[in-house]
A and B are shown apart, each in its own frame.
Chain A
Amino acid sequence: MTVHKSLPHDSGPLHVTGAARYVDDIPVPAKCLHLAFGLSTVARGSVTSMDLGAVRAAPGVVAVLEASDLPFANDVSPSAHDEPLLSTGRVNYVGQPLFVVAATSHLAARKAVRAARITYAEEPPVLTVDEALAANSRFEDGPRIWTKGDVDAALAKASNRLSGRIEIGGQEHFYLEGQAALVLPQENGDMVVHSSTQHPTEIQHKVAEAIGKPMHAVRVETRRMGGGFGGKESQGNALACACAIVARATGRPAKMRYDRDDDMVITGKRHDFRIDYDVGFDETGRVSAVDFVQATRGGWAQDLTLPVADRAMLHSDNAYLLPAARITSHRLRTNTQSATAFRGFGGPQGVVGIERVMDHIAAHLGLDPVEVRRVNYYQPMAGATWEDGGSAPRPAASPRDISGTKAGRGLAFGAAHSPASHRPVANTTPYGMEVKDFVLHAMSARLLGSAGYAARREAVAAWNAANPVLKRGLGFSPVKFGISFTLTHLNQAGALVHVYQDGSIHLNHGGTEMGQGLFQKVAQVAAARFGLDTDAVRITATDTAKVPNTSATAASSGSDLNGMAVRVACDMIRDRMSVCLAEKFALRPEDVVFDAGEVRAGDHSMSFAEAAMACYQSRVSLSATGFYKTPDLSWDRIAGQGRPFFYFAHGCALTEVVVDTLTGENRILRADILHDAGASLNPALDIGQVEGAYVQGAGWLTTEELVWDDKGRLRTHAPSTYKIPACSDRPEVFNVALWDGENPEATIYRSKAVGEPPFMLGISAFLALSDACASCGSAYPDLQAPATAEAVLAAIGRARG
C-alpha cells in the first residue's frame, strides 16, 4: 500500500533543479502588462485630490485606473462586501490601494506609482484596542459572549483566585513567494487566471464579479504556492481582480506581483489579541471557573475576522475541562491592515490565553506547571486505561518506513491524578461538545518520559542556583485542536479522476498545494485504491474547470476532505472495472483484486494497464467525480453551542531555553515533541509539518514583532526589521515523533489533519522563557508576547519585584 509511507514531496525533483513553476515563472505571451498599486500614506481620512497626470506620462505606462474607472464590482472582500479594490475616496489604513498602474514592466509600473500627487483630509486614526473600545469601533453590533455554567458564583466560591492580562502580537506570514497573479484574456471576454491562492474558487468568484460575467467565464488554475499559511486565503483577490480588469480593458495579458515591501504593507496578518482573565481554582490548581475577555484588532475590513475570533473562543479551553467558563470576544475595527487567516486561525491566540492561566496558577501555588495542567485535562478517551497512562486504544495502522523515530512507552501517571475521582462534571467543552477522543494523558506521559522531564527540571534548578547571569527555563504545552471549518457548509470537497487506456491516472481535486505535501498524500490515496505506485498517478494543478465550488485549502482540512473525495472517485472507477472483469471471467465483482500493480480476477492476472484497456474496449467509463462532506457537524455560532468539529488533533511539547538576564537575549536549547497525526498518511511529510509549525509558532511568540507608529504606519515592513527565525534559531536538539494512535473517527485511512495543530507547540518556548524569567525572583514575571529581548528584560524586572 502506498499510504502510511514516507515518500518525498512529489515536486521534490522539480524544486531541487529549479524546474518547478510558480505564477511569476509562467511564460507569458507578448505584450503582457505589469501592474502596481498606488497606496495611501495616511491611516484615516479622505482623499481631497488625486493628480495622476505624471503617473500617466511616466515611461512605459499603458493604463491608469481609479475607482471610477472600474466597470463592475469594486469589491475584493471574501465576506462583507466592505473591501473596495480601489478606494472610492475614504482611506482606512496606510497601504490601502487608491489606483492601479499597468505598464510594460514591473519596474516601470512601480516607478510610475511614485509620481502621483495626492492630498488628504486626515482624521485621527483608531489604532489600538483601547482606542477602538472607546470609540465602539467594531465588527458586529457588540461582543460575542458564550457561557458554560454559573461563572460568577463559581468564581465567588473559589478558594483561590487570580486575574491578569496578556498581550499577544500579530504575525506576518512571510510566505517566501509573495502574492502574484497572471490573467490571460480569452475569446468572448473570458479569462484564464493563474493565481498564487489557497482559494481558487474565491478568486473565480471575485474576478467574475469584477468583469461582470458569470463564474463560467473565469477559469482559475493554481499549480502551487511558495507558501501560504493562510495569507493566501483571501489576500490574492485584489491582484487577480486588478489583472482581470486591466486585461478586459486592454485585451492584453496582465500580471501583478507584490514587491516584498508592498506585500507586507498591503496585506493582512495574524490577528493580535489582548486577553484578560479572572480564574478560580483550588489548592491543587484545579480550575473551577474562568472568565476570559478577548479583544482583537481586525483591521479596517471584516475579511475573516468573525470566524477567526470564533475560533479563538473555541480554543480558550485548549486541553482543559473547565467546569464553568465565560468567554467575551470583542472584534475591533481599526485603521490597520485587515487582519486575516494565519495557520491556526485564532486558535493559537485562544490557546495562549488558557496556557497563560495555567502558568500563572502554577506560579501562584508553587506547583509544577505540568502537574497543574494534568489535573485540569479532559478525561481520556473511553477504552484508554488511566493507570498505564491511557495507552493508545488500538494499534496504529502501522506506519512503516517512518523516517522519524517512534517514541517508546513513557511514564505512567500516578493514580492520584485520576480525574475520575474528582470529576462529576460531563467531559464537555465550553461550547457544549463532548470530548470523546482525548489522548493527551498518555501522550504527555510518554513525552515527559522520553524527554527526561523530571531529571531536567532538577538540572535546570541546579543550573539556575549556580549561575547568576544565564538562566534556564523549561516549558511544557499540550494542544487539542478542533478539526473542521466552523462554517459548516465549507466542509465539502470534490475530485476528478481519469484512468486512461494505458493505465495511467490523472488526478485532480479541489485542494491547493502550498508545500504541505497535500498532492502527494492524495496521490498516495489514489494509488492505494488501485493497488499501484504513485508513479502511475499524475497530480494536476488545481483548476476550477475540473472541480467546481471548492473550499479554501485551510483549516488543516486539505487531506481529510480531498483525500476522501479522491477515494470516492477512485472506488467508483474500480468498482466499474471489477464488474466488467468479473463478467468477462464469469466471477463475482468482489473476486477482482487490485494489488501490487496487478489486477487479479480468479486465476486470471493482468497488469493494471491491460485491465484498463480491457475495460475501455468493453465501453466502461473510466472517469469519475468524487464528492465528500464531513458528517455529524452542527454548530450555532451565535449561541456558541453544538459540534463544530469532527474530531480533535493533539500534540505536546517540552522546550528548554536559556536567557541572558543582562540583555534579555535568549535561545532555544532543546525541543521534544510528540504529535498526533492519527495513522499518518505520510509520516515524513507530517513530521516536516510539525517541525516547520513549531519553529513558526515559536517565532510568533518570540522574535516576530510587528510595530506600527502613532500614525498607523507599519515600521516593520521588511525582513530587515521583522525577525523571522533563521537556521541558527532552530532548537539545538530537536526531537519530533508521531503518536501511534489512529483516528477513532472514520477519516481517510484513519489519519488526522496536521497543518495547523503543531503550530501551537511553539507556545512551549514562550512558557520556557516565562519559567526562566520566574527563576530571577519571587514575583510572577507576567511575560508578554512576543517575548523579544526587551519583553524578556521587562519580565525579569517584574520577577525581581
Chain B
Amino acid sequence: MTKLIMTVNGKKVSRDVPDETLLSEFLRESLRLTGTHVGCDTTQCGACVVHVNGTAVKSCSVLAVSLNGESVTTIEGLADGGQLHPMQKAFNDNHGLQCGFCTPGMIMASVDLVAKAKAAGRKLSEDDIRHGLEGNICRCTGYHNIVKAVAQAASEM
C-alpha cells in the first residue's frame, strides 16, 4: 500500500492503493472515471490513453504509484466546463466513431499529437496523423473519419 496523491482532471485526490495497481485500474475502480477504457491490457490498442502532465500515456501499463504527485487528465477532464474540446466536437461531427470504445483513447492521443506538432511549430499533414495514431486501434470505422476529425480539430486548436 502506498499513499498516492495525484491531480486528476484538475482536482487533488489522495488514496491508499496497492503497489501493483495500474493507472487504468486506479482511474476506473477507485475514482470511477470509466471513460478510460481497457481494450487489450497490454499497451497495444490505445483505448486507455490519458495525459500525464500533458503527454499521452497508455494507462494500462503504468503503475499508479509511480505517478505520485503528477497531474493526470482523462477524457472526462478534457471539456472546459460545458464546452467540448475542439477534438471532441470534431469526432462527433465527422462521424469519427461507431461503437465508441476506442474514442476516448483516440481523442486523448490525437490531442497530444496536435499539441506536440503545434509546440514544434509544425503543421500536421494527413500522413502525420495516420502514423501518429498507429498505436490506437479502431476496429469499427476504418479510420477515414477519424483522420478527418483530427485534421479538422488541428485547424481549430
Binding site for B on A (CB under 8 A): 6, 8-9, 11-22, 24-25, 27, 107, 173-178, 224-229, 259-261, 403, 514-517, 684-685, 687-689, 691-696, 718-720, 724-728, 730, 734, 736
Contacts and interface: CB of A to CB of B under 8 A. Distances in A.
B134 A728 contact: yes
Contacts of A514: 99
Given A16-B92, A726-B143, 15 more contacts: A9-B92, A9-B100, A19-B76, A20-B100, A22-B34, A24-B28, A174-B137, A225-B99, A228-B99, A515-B140, A688-B95, A692-B141, A720-B42, A727-B136, A730-B130
Interface in B52-78: 74-76, 78
B93 A8 contact: yes
Given A12-B97, A15-B100, A685-B95, A728 B139 contact: no
A316 to B, nearest CB: 27
A284 to B, nearest CB: 36
- The 7 closest A-B CB pairs, nearest first, are A18-B35, A515-B99, A226-B101, A15-B100, A515-B98, A695-B142, A18-B75
Given A19-B35, A515-B98, A727-B129, A691 B40 contact: no
B101 A691 contact: no
8 contacts: A14-B100, A18-B35, A22-B34, A174-B137, A226-B100, A259-B41, A719-B44, A727-B131
A727 B130 contact: yes
Contacts of A728: 130-131, 133-134
A4 to B, nearest CB: 16
Contacts of A224: 99-100
Contact of A691 (B28, B136, B142): B142
Interface string B30-41: 001111111111
A691 B146 CA distance: 11
Contacts of A691: 141-142, 144-145
Contacts of A229: 139
Which residue among B45, B74, B93, B140 has the maximum number of chain A CB atoms within 10 Å of its CB? B140
Contacts of B138: 176, 727
Contacts of B76: 17-19
Size band of the interface chain B makes with A: 35 or more
B137 A726 contact: yes
Contacts of B142: 688, 691-696, 725, 730, 734
A726 B134 contact: yes
A260 B100 contact: no
- Secondary structure call for the B interface: loop
B107 interface: yes
A17 B35 contact: yes
B45 A719 contact: yes
Which residue among A9, A225, A694, A726 has the maximum number of chain B CB atoms within 10 Å of its CB? A726
A173 B101 CA distance: 14
A736 B37 CA distance: 30
Which residue among A24, A25, A692, A696 has the maximum number of chain B CB atoms within 10 Å of its CB? A692
A411 B55 CA distance: 51
Nearest to B90: A16
A16 B34 contact: no
Contacts of A515: 97-101, 140
A696 to B, nearest CB: 7
A19 B142 CA distance: 23
A6 B94 CA distance: 10
A261 B60 CA distance: 14
Given A685-B95, A730-B130, A177 B145 contact: no
A40 B146 CA distance: 40
A689 B145 CA distance: 11
A515 B142 CA distance: 13
A259 B39 CA distance: 9
Contact of B145 (A13, A21, A688, A720): A688
A690 to B, nearest CB: 8
A719 B58 CA distance: 15
A720 B137 CA distance: 12
Nearest to A178: B39
B127 to A, nearest CB: 8
Contacts of A718: 40, 42, 44
Nearest to A720: B44
A694 B141 CA distance: 9
Given A9-B97, A18-B75, A727 B145 contact: no
Contacts of B136: 727
Contacts of B32: 27
B102 interface: yes
A177 B134 contact: no
B84 interface: yes
B47 interface: yes
Nearest to B93: A8
B91 interface: yes
B92 A8 contact: yes
Given A16-B92, A227-B99, A688-B98, A734 B144 contact: yes
Contact of A403 (B38, B95, B98, B143): B95
Contacts of B102: 176
Contacts of B134: 726-728
Nearest to B108: A18
A733 to B, nearest CB: 11
A700 B131 CA distance: 21
